Amino acid sequence: MIAGPLLLISLPLIAAAVIYPFRRWSLLTATIAAATSLFLGLACLRLPLDAPSTLWRWTVQLGQPVIVLGRELALQPAGASVLGFTFLLSAVIFLLAGVIPQGHLFPPMSLTVLSMIGASILVRHPLFTVLALWLAVILAAFFVQGDRHDSVRGALRYVTMHTLAIAPFLVTSWLLDLHLENPDSVAPLRTLTILLTLGFGILLAIVPFHGWITAVAKDAPPLGSALLFTVENLAVLLLLSDLVQRHPWLLEDPLLLQGLTWGGLLTLMLGGIMAWVQQDFGHLLGYGTLSDMGGMLMALGTGTELGMQAAVTLILFRAVSLVVTGVGLSAIRRQRSSDAFSDMEGVARQQPLSTVTLILGGLSLAGLPPLAGFAGRWQLLNFFAPEHTNWCWLIFLAGWGVAFGYLRGLRAALSSPPEPKEHTSSPEPLISIIAAIATITLAAALGFNPRPILTLTARIVTALPMP
Amino acid sequence: MPVLVEFLEKLSFLVGTPAVAGLALTASLIVVSGDWRLSLLALLVQYVLAGLLSTRLLPLQLAQIKIYVGLLTCPMLYWAARRVVWMRKRHHRPEDPPLPPWPALTMGLPFRVLGMVLIGLAVYALGPTYPLPQVPGEIGLACYWLGLAGLLGLILTDEPFQAGLALLTFLTGFELFYAGLESSLLATGLLAIGHLLLVLIVAYLTIARGVGPVISREASE
């Protein structure tokens, strides 16, 4: 019988090793990566955790814990839902990456990242969760950089900030172990919460530790950004939830939750304001994501189950928005080798569907109706409306800041070049058109009927009660 | 590896204040020096000295892991830097406009020296006031020095080679401190794997950045 944790960690690694030699063949590698992710995603969401299931000739029990080098790896209900969504999202992204390539390293390295993210969710100790997350980040930096030579800022900042973040987490883990061994000892609560606030502040890109988000959004392949910003957020959310469930006394010091709330508010506002004035779609994507993350942090900072629900909903709908806008941005970057507004002249005529996808995805990220992102934003507004009406206005305005940024980009794309250039006459590839139509349909469908995502959110949150 | 054990035993006289002073010197050199060879040599010595100090906190077998990581790190970074220099030399043509210079620290030497002096003062103030738990005082000082020097190095440049060395200096300082807190094989092993992967990405980014102008020129031709 195969234990679930081994399957979830080893299968992506094996698939990555198999496809790595063929990394130049984007369609082949992306298809294998998508099939692997789809299989694991469906397994996580469909198979029972507490009973063995038969998959072809193998018997698998997803919930069976395993001990690796003295550490227990186990799939919990919340982890199964999060991993299920993660793998399904990855399958969609890999399929899209097959038709709009995201770099030769993207499929194999993403699979290794998924394996490490899986390990971080499965291992039941914060020390190893953080170390696995760190390994995932370093591996992800390879596809963030990809084959580009003009900038290394995104990959460097991503790795640097996460390396700095592991220090407070590892010390926290030691202090918590010390407290577990000797509960009578006076736990240095303030030290712990300062360290945790610092660590989560970096991982969740709270201002002033937000620089890596915009740098990654600018340099990474857009679908890679969509994967990283979603998957990492979910893993960090699980880590936070796990920590406060095991050590509820951590919340006796209000610093952590207050840090999340006020840091979230600051992040939301900064994201909205900066998105307004950006001059390229890469940075705009980063600030749009940052603004959305600010809202998520504010909800999380309330420390309630409803707040957790609003936060998870925002992350899941943000994933959809990021995929949609990522498809458009990838298609345009492929043709133009740039995403600056100043280079967008005539794009709307040359690549109309890619432009529509890019802008609709951006407006969805801003939370405008009737797109998918609106459902998440609406839940957030509903959550804060009874007690914090002023915050609702700020959330609304931040969303408009992001929307305005995309509308400025649209204006640049609609403008005509002073004189027609040769490259502006090449038609939009059919495959890009199909990918654009598919993702726009997905965003619109989830906007009108958000039930599948809301059901998954409820499933995750039910398994993650806040203390 | 018995050779390494013998080597560590021969250098055991350094464990203590000489190693701490050596770490302060190497970290300062990494931050201050603009010469990649000198910085890399300082990093190698830093790994050996940090490994020697780790023998006071960890079993010898685990402390050896840290020295092995250092011994693997420096050739990888040397190869990356060498490759950049070689590519640039190969593509140097007097008739063309010169390639942008090999990435160097952006701030001037006096500024960096002043920065290190301030770091020294900060360590002098922090060490006795906030002693690190579970590590002897002098090792705590070394951890502070490495950590703060690494942070300063990260602030001073965004070039991957120099920033990478600064990040590795920070990490070495933290690992030295953490060796006093956690001595499990799994944690040490995972930190070592992460450390090596970090070196690999620094080397990858160094090459990407260093040969970028060469590739741009080739593409334009």
Q: List Cα–Cα distances, A441 to A325, A382, A438, in angstroms.
A: 13, 26, 5
- Indicate the angle between helix axes A281-301 and A389-414, nearest 10 degrees: 170
Rounded to a whole number of angstroms, the distance from the CA of B4 to the nearest CA of chain A is: 26
Taking CB atoms and an 8 Å limit, are B194 and A150 in contact across chains?
Answer: no
Q: Of chain A residues 213-272, which have a CB less than 8 A from chain B? A: none
Report how many helices (DSSP H) and strands (DSSP E) chain A contains, helices first. Answer: 18, 5
Mean pLDDT confidence for A171-184: 84
Residue B191 and residue B183: Cα distance in Å, rounded? 11
- Sheet hosting strand A53-55, strand order edge to edge: A2-3, A58-61, A53-55
**What residues does each domain of chain A span?**
125-462
> Is A170 touching B (CB cutoff 8 A)?
yes
Confidence band, pLDDT 50/70/90 cuts, at residue B16: confident
Q: Is A439 within 8 Å of A327 (Cβ atoms)?
A: yes
Q: Is A166 within 8 Å of A134 (Cβ atoms)?
A: yes
Answer yes or no: is pLDDT of A424 > 60. no
- Phi-psi category of residue B134: left, alpha or beta, with phi > 0 → left and psi -120 to 50 → alpha: left
Residue B178 host element (H or E): helix B160-181
Residue B176 and residue B63: Cα distance in Å, rounded? 10
Structure tokens at B167: 């990040």
Answer yes or no: is pLDDT of A327 > 90. yes
A66-68 vs A53-55, strand pairing mode: unpaired
Confidence band, pLDDT 50/70/90 cuts, at residue A185: low
Radius of gyration of chain B (CA): 19
Answer yes or no: is pLDDT of B218 > 90. no
**What residues does each domain of chain B span?**
2-89+103-220
**Which residue has tokens 């990494």?**
B30
Question: What is the b/e burial string over A266-304, where b = at least 16 CB atoms within 10 angstroms of the residue's CB?
Answer: bbbbbbbbbbbebebbbbbbbbbbbbbbbbbbbbbbbbe
SS3 B184: coil
Confidence band, pLDDT 50/70/90 cuts, at residue B97: low
The reported pLDDT for the residue numbered A283 is 95
Q: Which residue has the higher pLDDT, A148 or A365?
A: A365
> Is A153 touching B (CB cutoff 8 A)?
yes
The partner residue sitting opposite A163, judged by closest CB among B193, B198, B204, is: B198
Residue B80 and residue B37: Cα distance in Å, rounded? 12
Neighbours of A95 (CB within 10 A): 18
Answer yes or no: is pLDDT of A262 > 70. yes
Q: Which phi and psi (to 5°) does residue A427 adopt?
A: -75, 160
Residue A174 and residue A154: Cα distance in Å, rounded? 31
The partner residue sitting opposite A149, judged by closest CB among B164, B194, B208, is: B208
Q: Of chain A residues 309-348, which have a CB less than 8 A from chain B? A: none
Taking CB atoms and an 8 Å limit, are B190 and A131 in contact across chains?
Answer: yes
Q: Which residue has the higher pLDDT, B1 or B24?
A: B24
> Is A167 touching B (CB cutoff 8 A)?
yes
Q: List Cα–Cα distances, B172 to A40, A137, B21, B57, B70, in angstroms.
A: 37, 19, 15, 14, 10
The partner residue sitting opposite B194, judged by closest CB among A134, A148, A149, is: A134
Instruction: Give the pLDDT confidence of A69-88 residue by residue, as tens digits.
Output: 888 899 999 999 999 999 99
The reported pLDDT for the residue numbered B122 is 94
> Is A134 touching B (CB cutoff 8 A)?
yes
Residue A389 and residue B26: Cα distance in Å, rounded? 55
The reported pLDDT for the residue numbered B1 is 59
Q: Which residue has the higher pLDDT, B164 or A252?
A: B164
Mean pLDDT confidence for A95-119: 94
Residue A58 host element (H or E): strand A58-61
Q: Is A308 within 8 Å of A379 (Cβ atoms)?
A: no
Q: Is A289 within 8 Å of A318 (Cβ atoms)?
A: yes
